[in-house]
Amino acid sequence: MTFCGVCLVLLAIQNGAAAASTGISDDYFVSIDRDGDFANGCTKFFFSGWNQWEAVEMGAGAPVLHGPSLPPNMTSPQLLREIMDQAVSSGLTVMRAMAFGVSPEYALETSPGQYSETIFRGMDYMLDQARQRGIKVLLALVNNWGRTGGVDEMLGWSSTKPDSIHESYFSDPGSRQIYKQRASAVLGRINVYNGRRYSEDPTILGWNLINEPRCFQCPDAIQSWIQEMVPYLKSLDGNHLLSIGEEGFYSSQDPARARSDPQSNGSWALTEGQDFLFNHNVSGLDFATMHSWVDNWLDANEDFLRTWIRQHIADAAFLKLPLVLEEHGKWVKDGTSATQQLRDQFYSIVYQEVEASAKSGGPMKGAAFWQYYAEGQIGPAGEGWASGLYGVRRQDSTWGLVQNHASVMKGLNTWSSSCNTAKSARTPAVKDCSSTRVNGTAGTGYEGPNCDIDIDECVRGTAGCASSAACRNTPGGFTCQCFMGYTGNGTSCMATSDVGRTANSYVSSGTAQLACNEGSNVLYPPTAPGFRHDPTNYTDSSPSLKGGFGSNFNTSAIECAVACQTASSCNAFSYNPFLQQCFLKADPSSDICQGQTTTCQDAQYGTKYSCGQWQTYLRQSAPAASLQPAAFGRHL
């Protein structure tokens, strides 16, 4: 699904361990054993997993996330590690992610056949972090939803399309070619951090051809697309399990099964172009996929959920394919215990059905919930309360169910009859760079198979600078330097009286506060330590995104730092203390003022400003027109 859960419904209606280790015990390709179970080396591999929507841009160091926000005081690679650590400690072993950046600034493919090295490195990092923790990653190669990395974007690039409607995608030869080119680039990618070619990396559990293919009233187009792509993918990669990535709707061709569709047989699901049984009857597919979105599908009914899962289990058994419930979620529209309990009921049903099948030798191998929220993450605008519609936090009762389920699934991982360990030998050993010497000093400032890629500790969030210090990456190392207005050695910085004075001038008390003062840059001046550093290398000349990742007006670093740090209720700005920047969020239509309309007040002048328009942060005395437009680009 998209991070905007509601969009699904709308569309449907409109359409209708240690880094150094080389012998990690579970570093084998997931395979299918003689019993039809997933196996990881010599043990069965029943799993419990989760979806991580923005994993690739997190790995790349995105300064802003468009789904749940970054927690304060964390960089996105740090968040990615934190989430994986939590997953491991809770027994989760599979992460499902998109094999591309999902937001325009973080596009993997920027134009047909052109790929962003930064974003690819984000995926490299994500995979290598998963490898270090023994997590397997299930990756979707393209998305039916959203433009970036999606079907509609590819269709837009195609020169052979009959028209631009979504439904043309699956039969358009040009789009098919663009898809194949992307798939080939991704599968052939060599991970810069561990030297593994993706097609030979056992960290990858398998591939989804596409996330949730939908083609309104064109089932044949989807079917022929699958029939063409399965052998193509298999020709590129014989190591990994291949699947579709579909929700698993039944079509009107099969009225008996269609009764288990959402809203029974009269539903929109009949005409979305899928047919679970038919689609999966393609030689080369290794496992079947299903999703379950009771709210988005307008059927938040426990009986529906049970029937839906059981029907797919029966059909997967008939097809003799393992089955994975790749996505399931349940809205919690507010923080009340009643809605949380309701979510728990639905999660319990999912886990009961999955466990029953897995324990009895049925086809179900695991489920992945949507989605985990780390401490301090806030849901995107339009998703109601702070946890978003689907966020599961550790303190939620739902998390207990997740952990119990993970433990049950792990308990099923007994000896597998057919040990498949041969392939792991094909992946290169990963070198330990921890003793690399930089100018005679041992350190871990480099990584990669040859220990020659500089680690940007500031972006990784490993430098440990004080939150009021600028982190600056250097070859093989980094420096921490206190902000202007602060004194100290960089790992510890104390505010001077200047800071207090600035705070009094520009920041009011209460819930609405002025973020930055007149003519201020929300960034530091180029001469200040830690001036803008967008590790994703995003540059956008589009006027509609003016202000994205910060405008470039002149200011004093103290004022900006103070203002941005304290402007917590005004979410137009995002201050990242590790990157030492204050960012205006990129997309004014969706990211500014999360969840509510916020006004910001200038304590000095008593003027109220709308947080929705960054220009309004300028003080009255300076007409906006006299200010120069933001200068975009890199200031590394």
CB atoms within 10 A of CB 278: 17
CB atoms within 10 A of CB 14: 11
Which C-beta is closer to ligand NAG: that of 278 or that of 385? 278
What would the two tokens of residue 232 be?
């193509």
Work out the burial of residue 158: count CB atoms within 10 Å of its CB; fewer than 13 is exposed, 13-18 middle, 19 or more buried. buried
Is residue 492 close enough to count as binding ligand NAG by CB under 6 A? yes
Helix, strand, coil share of the chain (percent; to 5): 35, 15, 50
Q: Catalytic pick from 54, 153, 246, 327?
A: 327
DSSP letter (8 states) at residue 369: E
Contact with ligand NAG (CB under 6 A) among 15, 421, 467, 616: 467
Which C-beta is closer to ligand NAG: that of 72 or that of 284? 72
Question: Of 61-80, which residues contact ligand NAG (CB under 6 A)?
Answer: 72-73
How many residues touch ligand NAG under the rule CB under 6 A: the total is 26
Q: Catalytic pick from 54, 212, 246, 457?
A: 212
Question: Of 360-379, which residues contact ligand NAG (CB under 6 A)?
Answer: 376
Query: Helix 76-89 and helix 117-133: axis angle, to 10°?
Result: 20
Shortest approach of ligand NAG to residue 589 CB, angstroms?
25
Is residue 174 close enough to count as binding ligand NAG by CB under 6 A? no
Q: Give the residue from 523, 507, 516, 506 showing the smallest Cα distance to 617.
A: 516
Question: Is 327 a residue of the active site?
Answer: yes
Is residue 284 close enough to count as binding ligand NAG by CB under 6 A? no
Which C-beta is closer to ligand NAG: that of 37 or that of 275? 275
Is residue 118 close enough to count as binding ligand NAG by CB under 6 A? yes
Is residue 117 close enough to count as binding ligand NAG by CB under 6 A? yes
Contact with ligand NAG (CB under 6 A) among 86, 181, 227, 281: 281
- Angle (CA) 150 152 155, round 5°: 115
Question: Of 401-460, which residues contact ligand NAG (CB under 6 A)?
Answer: 438-439
Q: Are strands 477-482 and 469-474 parallel, antiparallel or unpaired?
A: antiparallel
Which C-beta is closer to ligand NAG: that of 151 or that of 244? 244
Strands (E), 564-619: 573-576, 581-584, 599-601, 608-610
Shortest approach of ligand NAG to residue 116 CB, angstroms?
6
Contact with ligand NAG (CB under 6 A) among 418, 450, 487, 491: 491
SS3 call for 250: coil
Region of 468 please: left (phi>0), alpha (psi -120 to 50) or beta.
alpha
Shortest approach of ligand NAG to residue 73 CB, angstroms?
4
Which residues make Cβ contacts (< 8 Å) with residue 96, sequence separation at least 6? 49, 50, 51, 52, 137, 138, 139, 140, 326, 327, 368
Question: Of 226-265, which residues contact ligand NAG (CB under 6 A)?
Answer: 255, 259, 264-265
Question: Is 383 a residue of the active site?
Answer: no
The helix (run of H) or strand (run of E) holding residue 31 is strand 30-32
Q: Which residues are catalytic?
A: 212, 327
The residues that touch ligand NAG, with contacts defined as CB under 6 A, are 72-73, 116-118, 255, 259, 264-266, 277-278, 281, 376, 438-439, 467, 474-477, 489, 491-492, 537, 554
